[in-house]
Amino acid sequence: EAQAAESAHAQGLAAAAAERRAVDAQLGAAQRAFRADRLELVRRAEQQVEEAAESIRGVLVKREGEHRLRLAAVEQELDATRQALADVEAAVRAQSSALLSELSDG
């Protein structure tokens, strides 16, 4: 009877150990799956960040181009205004000179 009890106890311990190994194996598999999922999430997040950065760079390049075009247009406008001012100054000098000439001749 004692031997049967010891045998039952040993079988119980063996069953518990087997159950523990099975639980440990399941835990290990779950941890590996969790790490793999986490790595995939990090990879996806990095990809989304790269895509967003590329999109932002594209917008910035486009805006830079637009600003350069506007700047060129403003510079052309300033050059035209300077030329118009120079033309007005030349016309005023010519009229002044003609008036002074008339006054001195007259």
Q: What is the mean pLDDT of residues 83-99?
A: 96
Instruction: Determine the pLDDT at residue 42.
Output: 96
What's the pLDDT score for residue 85? 98
* Average of per-residue pLDDT values in the chain: 94
Model confidence pLDDT, tens digit, residues 30-52: 999 999 999 999 999 999 999 99
Q: Say which residue, 4 or 80, is predicted with more confidence.
A: 80
- What CA–CA distance (Å, rounded) separates 66 from 45? 31
pLDDT at 106 over 70: no
Give the tokens for residue 61: 């390049």
Q: So what's the pLDDT on residue 99?
A: 93
**Which pair of tokens denotes residue 104?**
């001195």
64-101 b/e (C-beta count within 10 Å ≥ 16 → b): eeeeeeeeeeeeeeeeeeeeeeeeeeeeeeeeeeeeee
The one-letter amino acid at 84: A
pLDDT at residue 104, rounded to an integer? 87
